[in-house]
Structure 1
Amino acid sequence: MSEEHEPSPTRWWTLGIVSLGTFMLMLDLSVVAIALPKIHEDLDSSFTDLQWVFDAYALTLAIFLVAAGSLADRYGRKRVFQIGFLVFTTASLACGLAADATALSLFRAVQGVGAAVMFAVGPAMLGHEFRGKERATAFTVFGAAVGLAVAAGPLIGGALTESLSWRWIFYINVPVGIAAVVIGALRVAESYNRKAPATDWTGLLTFSVALGALVFAIIRAPLEGWTSAQTVALFAASAVFLALFVVIERRLGDRAMIDLGFFRSPTFVGISLVAMIGNAAVMPSIFIETSYLENILRYDAWDTGLRFLPLTGAMFVTGALAGGLIGKVPFRVLLGGATAVMAVGLYLLRAAEADSAWTVLLPSMLISGIGMGAFNPARAALAIGVAEPAKSGVVSGINETFQQIGVAVGIAATGAFFQHRVADEFAATRAGEAMGADTAEQAAHGISAGAVDAVAQGAGALREQVLADGRESFVAAFQDAMALCAGLGFLAALLAFTLLRTRDLHASALSSVPPEPAEAPVAV
C-alpha cells in the first residue's frame, strides 16, 4: 500500500479506534492517582511503592515507543497497533488480580509495553489516513481523547474505587480492549512503508538499554543517592550504550532505525524537549494535588474526582477548539502559548493552605486545563509533521518517548523533591523537634505518603501537635513542588517560542499550515 492514496473509506474507523486506545492508555496514567490511598491500604505499600505504580508504566512506555514506531512502519501499523492493544488489555487484567505492590508494578510495566505500541503507532496511522483539513480534524479528536483521559481519570477512578474496588480501574480495560481489537480487525485498513529497511535489531537493543538505564537511574537516584555506586553505574551504562547506538546508526545510514539527521532540525529537537518538559510539569502536579484533596482536605475518592471536573471541562472544550486552530495559527504560538498558560495555572496552586476550601484550586484547574487542552492536539500534529509520512511511525515514537520520559522522570524527581521538603519542614516544627531526628524523619515519610492521621495516631501525647505540624509541613512542601512544576512549564514555553519553526515541516504537512513571518536564520 503506497503512502500517496485517495482518502480511505475506513479512515473514520481508524480515528475512532486510535482515539479509544489513546484514551485508555492515557487514562491509566491519571486514573491510578485517585486510587492510591486504597492501594496503599489494601497492599500495605510505601510512598516509594506508590511511585513505582506510576513509574513502572511510564518507564516501559518510554523505552518501547521508538521500537514500536519502527516496527510498525515495516510490518504494518494496524497489525502492530492491534498487538499492542492485546498486550495492554491482558496486562490490565493481571494488574487487577495483583496480590501485592511488587506484582502490581510488574504488571504495570507490561501494560506500559502495550501502551507504548498504541501511543507510538496511533498518530502515525492518523497521519497516513488523513491529509489537509481532515488531518486537523483528526488530531483535534485525538487531542481531545488525550485531554479527556488525563482530566477524567480522577472522576472515573473515584467512581470505580468507591463503588466497587480499586481493582476495577484495571478490569474496565478488558471488555473495552476486546471490543476495540475486534472492531479494529474488521474495520481498520492496514498501512505500512514498503520501502522501510530491514529491522535494525541492534539499534533497537542498544537504544532501549541506554534509555532504560538512564530513566531508571533518575528514578532511583533520589533514594539511592546521586553519587551511589548503583546510580553512577546506571548513568555510565546509559552513556556507553547510547554511544554504541550512535555509532551503529551512522554506519547503517539509510537502514538505521532513527535518522540522526532529524536532530539537526531545531523544530524536531524543540517539540521533543517541549513534550518532555511539559509532561514533567503536569503529571506530578495531578499526582500531588490528588493527595492534597484526599489527605489534607479529607475528601474520599469519589468527591475528589468530582472536584477535578473543572479541569476536565476546561481541557475537553479547549482541546476541541485548539485542534481547529491547527493550520491557522503557527505551531510555536499554539504550543508556546499553551505551555505558558499551563505554567500560570500550576503556579496558582501555591495559594492552597491546610485549612483552605477546595475552591482555592478552581483558578488553577481552569487555567491549567486550558493550557493542557490546547497542548495535546498541536503536539501530536507537529510531531509527525517534521518528517515524510513514510517515517511517521518512527518520529511519532521518538516524540512520545520524550513525552513519557518527562512523565517518569517528572513524577520521580518532583516526588523526591516533595518528600525532601516535607522532611525539612517537619523537622523544624515543635513536633519534629520533640520526636527527635530519626523518629521525625520516619514520620515525615508517612506524612509525604498522605498518612498524616496514622502518623499522628501513633504519636501518643504529641498526637494533636503532630497532626497540626504534619498538615502544615505537607502543604508547605506542596506549594514548593507546584512552584517547581510551574517553572518547568515556563521553560517548556520558552523552548517552544524559541525553537519551533514552520519552515522545518515536511511538505505533506505544509498544505494546512500558514507561513510564519520571516525569521532570522538559525545555525544547525
Structure 2
Amino acid sequence: MTKPSRISNSTSSEQRKFVILLTTSLVCSLIMLDANIVAVSLPTIARSLGASFTDIEWVVSAYVLPFAALLLAAGSYADRHGRKRTMLVGLAIFAFASGLCGLTHSALMLNLARALQGIGASLLLTAALAVINHAYVGQARAKAYAFWGACIGIAITSGPIIGGAITGFLGWRWTFLVNLPLCAVLFVTSVVIVEESRDHEAKNLDIAGILTLSSGLFLLIWALIDGNSVGWGNSAIIWRFVTATGLFIAFVVVEVRQTRPMVDLALFAQPTFLGSAFAMLGYAGGAQVMIFYLPMYLQNAYGFAPAKAGLAMIPFALPMFLTPRLGGRLAKSYSGRALLTFGLMTTVLGNLLLYGFAHVGMSYPVFLVGMLVAGVGAGLLNSETAKVMQGAVPAQRAGMASGLASTTRFVGLLLGVAGLGAVLARVVSRQFISAGVTLGLEPKFAARAAKQVASGDLTGVMTDVPARLQAQVHAAGWAAFSGGFAAASLVAAAVATLTGLLTYILVRSVDTAPVADDDLQRTLVVVME
C-alpha cells in the first residue's frame, strides 16, 4: 500500500522542482531582458528628459557596471545568508529601482536608479542559479540548465522587440514599470515554493575579498565601457586599468591567506574548471556579443527600421530558444567537453559565414543562414557553459559557482563588445574616409561622418551631404559598415576558435560524462541535504 504513496510523493516533488526551475528561470530572464529592453527606447528617453548622448549611453552602462562588479560578492552573500533569502532581497531591490526608473524626471536620477537595479540584479542572478544547482543533480541538472538556457535565449534576443512595442504603445516609462507586477508574482511564488539552502561551512563574509575584487571589477568594466568613446590611450582609461590590476593582485594576496575565501583560487588549478571558464569567455565574446552588432548591421546593410530589424533577428533568436532543449537530450549521450567544443566550433562556422556574406554584400535571405548557424552555437553554449562550470564546483558553494560563472560571462561580453567595437570602428573609419575623400568630401567632415557610420547612424550622415553625392556617400557608408562588421565577425570567429581549442584541451570527459538515470537515482539524496 505504500508504493502508490511513494509514486505520488515523487510526482509532487518533481512538480515542485519544476515550479522552482520555472521561477528561477523567469527571474534570470527578467534580468537579461532588462539589460537590453531599453536599447530601442534610448532616443525616446533622450527627447523626454532632455538628456545628452553621454547621459543616455549611461542608461545601459549604469545597469551593467554594478551588476557585473558585484556578482561574486552576491554569490558569497547567498552562500552565507541563504539563496532563497538573497533572491527575495534582490527582487525587492529590483522592483523598487524599476519603479524609480519609471517615475524619474531627470537623466541623473534615471541612471542612479538603473545602478540600483544592477545591484538587485546581481543578487537575483547568483541566487537563482545557486537554487537550480542545489535542486538538481546529474542528468536532471542538464535538463534544468537546458530549460534555463532556452528562457535566457528568449529574453536576450526578444528584448529589442519587446522594448520597441512597449515604447510605441505605452511609452518608455513602461519598459521599467512592467517589472513591478512581474516581480510581485515572482516574489510570492519564491516565498511559497523555493526551499532555503546555504553553505553551512561559511561563517563570515570575506569583506577584504569583496572590496578588492568588486572595486577591481568596477574599474575594469568602467574602462571597457568608456574605452572606445574616450580613447584607449586616454590617461583616465589607463589609470583605471592600472588600478584594477593592482586591486586584482591585492585580491589574490588576500584570498590565499583566508581560511574560507570568497573565491577558491585552487579551482583554477583544476583543468575542467579552467576549461569551462575559457568556454564561457568564448561564448560571451564570440557568440552572445553578436546580439549587439547584428541589429546594427541589419539596419545599415538592408535599411530595416528598428522594429523590422528586431523581427529579422528571429533566425538568430529561434535557435537560441530551441538548441538548449536539444542540448539537454544530447547530454544523455555526450560529455560536457564534447558539447562545449561542438558549440564553440559551430559558433566559429556561423561567424565565418557572417563574415563571408557581409564581405561580399549578400542579400538578407542568404545572410540569415549565417545567423541561423551562429544562433545554434550560441544556444548550445548558453546553458552548457553554466552547467559545466557550476558542476566543477562543490555543491555547497553553489553561490560562489554561480557568481564565478556570471562574472566570467559578463566580463567576457564586455571585452567582446569593446574589442569588436574597436575593430568595427577602425575598419569603418578607414574605409569610409578613403571613399568619402575620393568622392569629394572634406577630410574633416569625412572623419566626423565616419564616427556616425560606425555607431550605426548612416541616415544621420546624409543630412549634411550635398544632394548630388548622397547616393554615392550612402553606398560608401553601407560598404564601410559591412566591411567593419565583417572584420568584427572574423575576430569573433578567432575568439571562438582559440577558446574552443583551450576547452577541448582542458575540460576532461570523465569530469563531464553523461549521467545515466540509475546514477541519477543514487545521487538524489544530495538534493535533500
Task: Give the TM-score of the pair, scaled to structure 1.
Answer: 0.88
2:455 aligned residue: 449
- Structure 2 counterpart of 1:417, one-letter code: V
The superposition leaves residues 193-216 of structure 1 with CA deviations (integer Å, 9 ceiling, x where unpaired) of 222121111110111111212222
Equivalent residue for 1:247, pick from 253, 257, 270: 253
Equivalent residue for 1:186, pick from 184, 189, 192: 192
Residues 456, 464 of structure 1: 8 Å contact kept = no
2:485 aligned residue: 478
In 1, Cα distance between the equivalents of 2:394 and 2:366?
Answer: 47
In 1, Cα distance between the equivalents of 2:298 and 2:100?
Answer: 29
Could you tell me how far 1:84 is from its partner in structure 2? 1.4
In 2, Cα distance between the equivalents of 1:200 and 1:487?
Answer: 37
| Number of equivalent positions | 507
1:384 aligned residue: 390
- Structure 1 counterpart of 2:139, one-letter code: K
Residues 23, 149 of structure 1: 8 Å contact kept = yes
Range moving further from structure 2, 52-61 or 276-285? 52-61
Could you tell me how far 1:104 is from its partner in structure 2? 4.6
Residues 101, 110 of structure 2: 8 Å contact kept = yes
1:279 aligns with 2:279: no
Equivalent position SS for 1:190: coil
The superposition leaves residues 80-106 of structure 1 with CA deviations (integer Å, 9 ceiling, x where unpaired) of 011112222333333444556665544
Equivalent position SS for 1:415: helix
1:211 aligns with 2:225: no
Could you tell me how far 1:354 is from its partner in structure 2? 9.6
In 1, Cα distance between the equivalents of 2:438 and 2:44?
Answer: 27
Range moving further from structure 2, 255-264 or 501-510? 501-510
- Rate the CA distance shift 1:143–1:164 in 2: closer, same or farther, 3 A: same
In 1, Cα distance between the equivalents of 2:81 and 2:515?
Answer: 23
Percent identical pairs in the alignment equals 33
In 2, Cα distance between the equivalents of 1:164 and 1:353?
Answer: 39
- Structure 2 counterpart of 1:188, one-letter code: V
Residues 55, 408 of structure 1: 8 Å contact kept = no
- Rate the CA distance shift 1:449–1:164 in 2: closer, same or farther, 3 A: farther
In 2, Cα distance between the equivalents of 1:259 and 1:45?
Answer: 44
2:504 aligned residue: 497
- Rate the CA distance shift 1:183–1:136 in 2: closer, same or farther, 3 A: same
- Rate the CA distance shift 1:95–1:432 in 2: closer, same or farther, 3 A: farther
- Rate the CA distance shift 1:287–1:251 in 2: closer, same or farther, 3 A: same
In 2, Cα distance between the equivalents of 1:45 and 1:266?
Answer: 48
The superposition leaves residues 280-337 of structure 1 with CA deviations (integer Å, 9 ceiling, x where unpaired) of 2234322121112234423223322222222222222211111223353111111111
Could you tell me how far 1:161 is from its partner in structure 2? 3.6
Range moving further from structure 2, 46-55 or 447-456? 46-55
Could you tell me how far 1:464 is from its partner in structure 2? 3.4
1:59 aligned residue: 65
In 1, Cα distance between the equivalents of 2:108 and 2:493?
Answer: 32
Residues 300, 481 of structure 2: 8 Å contact kept = no
Equivalent position SS for 2:198: coil
Could you tell me how far 1:148 is from its partner in structure 2? 1.8
- Rate the CA distance shift 1:512–1:479 in 2: closer, same or farther, 3 A: farther
Range moving further from structure 2, 341-350 or 367-376? 341-350
In 1, Cα distance between the equivalents of 2:40 and 2:464?
Answer: 25
The superposition leaves residues 161-199 of structure 1 with CA deviations (integer Å, 9 ceiling, x where unpaired) of 443334433332222112111221222211112221211
Equivalent position SS for 2:408: helix
Equivalent position SS for 2:498: helix
Equivalent residue for 2:335, pick from 330, 335, 338: 330
1:316 aligned residue: 321
- Structure 1 counterpart of 2:89, one-letter code: I
Equivalent residue for 2:302, pick from 297, 304, 312: 297
Equivalent position SS for 2:257: helix
Could you tell me how far 1:434 is from its partner in structure 2? 2.9
Structure 2 stretches lacking a partner, 5+ long: 1-9, 522-529
- Rate the CA distance shift 1:345–1:352 in 2: closer, same or farther, 3 A: same
Range moving further from structure 2, 155-164 or 471-480? 155-164
1:518 aligned residue: none
2:525 aligned residue: none
Residues 337, 512 of structure 2: 8 Å contact kept = no
Residues 35, 158 of structure 1: 8 Å contact kept = yes
Please show how residues 229-240 of structure 1 align to structure 2 within 5 Å.
229-240=235-246
- Rate the CA distance shift 1:186–1:161 in 2: closer, same or farther, 3 A: same
Please show how residues 18-97 of structure 1 align to structure 2 within 5 Å.
18-35=24-41, 38=44, 52-97=58-103
- Rate the CA distance shift 1:117–1:129 in 2: closer, same or farther, 3 A: same
Range moving further from structure 2, 154-163 or 350-359? 350-359
- Structure 1 counterpart of 2:123, one-letter code: V
In 2, Cα distance between the equivalents of 1:379 and 1:142?
Answer: 12
Range moving further from structure 2, 402-411 or 129-138? 129-138
Range moving further from structure 2, 99-108 or 308-317? 99-108
Equivalent position SS for 2:204: coil
- Structure 2 counterpart of 1:328, one-letter code: S
Residues 332, 515 of structure 2: 8 Å contact kept = no
Residues 70, 122 of structure 2: 8 Å contact kept = yes
- Structure 1 counterpart of 2:507, one-letter code: L
Range moving further from structure 2, 130-139 or 502-511? 502-511
1:344 aligned residue: 349
Equivalent residue for 2:420, pick from 414, 426, 447: 414
In 2, Cα distance between the equivalents of 1:439 and 1:34?
Answer: 28
- Structure 2 counterpart of 1:495, one-letter code: L
Equivalent position SS for 2:120: helix
Structure 1 stretches lacking a partner, 5+ long: 1-5, 514-524
Could you tell me how far 1:112 is from its partner in structure 2? 2.2
Residues 358, 483 of structure 2: 8 Å contact kept = no
1:138 aligns with 2:144: yes
Could you tell me how far 1:398 is from its partner in structure 2? 0.8
- Structure 2 counterpart of 1:338, one-letter code: G
Equivalent residue for 2:275, pick from 270, 288, 292: 270
- Structure 2 counterpart of 1:475, one-letter code: S
Could you tell me how far 1:27 is from its partner in structure 2? 1.9
The superposition leaves residues 59-78 of structure 1 with CA deviations (integer Å, 9 ceiling, x where unpaired) of 32221111111110110100
In 2, Cα distance between the equivalents of 1:47 and 1:357?
Answer: 33
Residues 139, 515 of structure 2: 8 Å contact kept = no
Could you tell me how far 1:370 is from its partner in structure 2? 1.2
In 2, Cα distance between the equivalents of 1:423 and 1:101?
Answer: 31
Residues 59, 408 of structure 1: 8 Å contact kept = no
- Structure 1 counterpart of 2:209, one-letter code: G
Range moving further from structure 2, 227-236 or 371-380? 227-236
Range moving further from structure 2, 432-441 or 33-42? 33-42
In 2, Cα distance between the equivalents of 1:475 and 1:46?
Answer: 28
- Structure 1 counterpart of 2:409, one-letter code: Q
Please show how residues 100-179 of structure 1 align to structure 2 within 5 Å.
104-179=110-185
Task: Give the TM-score of the pair, scaled to structure 2.
Answer: 0.87
1:424 aligned residue: 430
- Rate the CA distance shift 1:214–1:13 in 2: closer, same or farther, 3 A: same
Range moving further from structure 2, 64-73 or 230-239? 230-239
In 1, Cα distance between the equivalents of 2:251 and 2:190?
Answer: 35
- Structure 1 counterpart of 2:314, one-letter code: L
